[in-house]
């Protein structure tokens, strides 16, 4: 949106409280100021709201006392507005995005255990993990990896490896105790470097641990590299389901197939007596999957060993491979492989 606005009051939220509105519009590189009188009506506020939140506005609005007009240009196909061509990562066959609408739902834990389950699937798959969460990288801890990556002869960073999984994270490049206080452009540059300046291949699967939400990183990755599919992690809680739905909507808008949903912390099983309790609700992820036509890849229980082993960098798929909760991740990997096989067969 080329219209750049500065406001003194949120007049579109409460038309009755409007006393004065000043806006600055960037018109052909020059700043001009327009003022609305105290007689601004609800229609004006509605027009202003359209200008601010219309997704494809690329002309500025013209405002004057007593009326409000705006000019917009809607493209029939917003995906064809000069977006960069999706360039594959050399040596990588499939890119899988593991995402969530909000933080704290176990997305990174799911990423690590899914990647390990893919590599242990019996077909000798080569798997890597890209930590896309620049502000809060978790992969170094979950994979028990520390230190800085080395460079090869092509000046590409070599991923750190543990459990046979290649990993790259911003956590390898900065002090673990320091905060990464960056603006969006710096984050985008870092993401591009982690994608393009790392010797990833050969890999059958690159699993990307996405940051929570539906922001710049999600769009940048989805629009710059071919993505085989996404896995959305949620808990059965209503608040988590709302944000998971937003994540599903975003992937649909950027043409990223949804491989399925993971309902994490689906049920608590008492380690002493085996009593089961639906702490965060019951069947929320399953119901959401049915509503949007997605597959439930797995329902991971809330289990103490998953948390304890994750904190020590010993994922449950490796440390306790025969437990029921480890089997959930293995079944999840089998479903993902089957889904990708179906997609490949349909495209060919």
State the average pLDDT over residues 31-46.
45
pLDDT digits (tens, 9 = 90+) for 229-258: 999 999 999 889 999 999 999 999 999 999
Task: Work out the pLDDT band at 272, boundaries 50, 70, 90.
Answer: confident
∠ CA(200), CA(129), CA(319), 5° rounding?
130
DSSP β-bridge partners for residue 161: 166
218: which 2 tokens? 């999600």
Predicted confidence at residue 275, as pLDDT, reads 82
Main-chain dihedrals φ then ψ at residue 152, nearest 5 degrees: -90, -170
What tokens appear for 221 in the block?
């990755």
Q: Which residues contact 39 (CB under 8 A, 6 or more apart)?
A: 65, 66
Structure-block tokens of residue 290: 């049915």
Tens-digit pLDDT profile for residues 107-120: 999 999 999 999 99
- Which pLDDT value is given to residue 178? 85
Q: What is the pLDDT of residue 3?
A: 37
Instruction: State the chain's mean pLDDT as an integer.
Output: 80
What are the C-alpha distances in Å from 101 to residues 106, 207, 329?
A: 11, 17, 20
Which of 27-36, 217-226, 278-287 comes out lowest in average pLDDT?
27-36
pLDDT at residue 286, as a whole number: 87
Give residue 83's pLDDT.
62
pLDDT, tens digit, for every residue of 77-101? 544 455 668 899 999 999 999 999 8
pLDDT tens for residues 187-236? 999 999 999 999 998 999 999 999 998 888 988 898 899 999 999 999 99
Q: Identify the sign of the CA torsion 236, 241, 247, 248.
A: positive
pLDDT at 51: 42
In tens, the pLDDT along 56-70 reads 333 344 444 444 444
Please give the full DSSP string across 79-126, using - where no structure is assigned. GGSSPPP-PPPTTEEEEEEEE-SSSSSSHHHHHHHHHHHHHTSSS---
Residue 55 clears pLDDT 70, i.e. is over it: no
Say what the pLDDT of residue 48 is. 42
pLDDT of residue 78: 46
Cα dihedral: 13, 17, 20, 24 (round 10):
-10
- In the beta sheet, which residues pair with residue 35? 22
């Amino acid at each position: 949106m080329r219209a750049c606005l500065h406001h003194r009051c949120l007049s579109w939220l409460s038309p009755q409280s409007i006393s004065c509105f000043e806006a600055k519009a960037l018109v052909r590189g020059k700043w001009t100021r327009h003022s609305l009188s105290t007689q601004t009506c609800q229609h004006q506020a509605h027009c202003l709201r359209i200008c601010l939140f219309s997704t494809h506005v690329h002309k500025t609005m013209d405002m004057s006392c007593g009326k409000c007009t705006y000019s917009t240009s809607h493209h029939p196909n917003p995906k064809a507005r000069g977006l960069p061509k999706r360039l594959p990562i050399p040596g990588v066959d499939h890119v899988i995005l593991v995402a969530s609408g909000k933080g704290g739902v176990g997305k990174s834990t799911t990423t690590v255990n899914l990647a390990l389950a893919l590599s242990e699937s019996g077909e000798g798959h080569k798997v890597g993990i890209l930590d896309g969460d620049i502000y809060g990288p978790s992969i170094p801890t979950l994979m028990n990896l520390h230190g800085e990556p080395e460079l090869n002869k092509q000046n590409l960073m070599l991923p750190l490896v543990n459990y046979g999984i290649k990993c790259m994270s911003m956590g390898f490049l900065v002090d673990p105790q320091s905060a990464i206080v960056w603006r969006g452009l710096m984050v985008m540059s870092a993401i591009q470097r982690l994608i393009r300046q790392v010797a990833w291949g050969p890999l059958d699967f690159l699993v990307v641990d996405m940051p929570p939400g539906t922001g710049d990183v999600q769009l940048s990755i989805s629009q710059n590299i071919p993505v085989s599919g996404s896995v959305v992690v949620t808990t059965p809680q209503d608040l988590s389901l709302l944000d998971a739905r937003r994540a599903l909507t975003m992937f649909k808008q950027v043409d990223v197939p949804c491989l399925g949903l993971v309902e994490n912390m689906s049920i608590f099983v008492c380690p002493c007596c085996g009593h089961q309790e639906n702490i965060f609700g019951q069947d929320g992820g399953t119901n959401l999957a049915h509503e949007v036509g997605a597959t439930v890849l797995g329902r991971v229980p809330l289990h103490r060993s998953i948390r304890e082993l994750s904190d020590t960098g010993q994922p449950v798929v490796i440390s306790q491979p025969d437990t029921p909760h480890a089997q959930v991740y293995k079944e999840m990997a089998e479903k993902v492989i089957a889904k990708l096989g179906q997609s490949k067969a349909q495209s060919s």
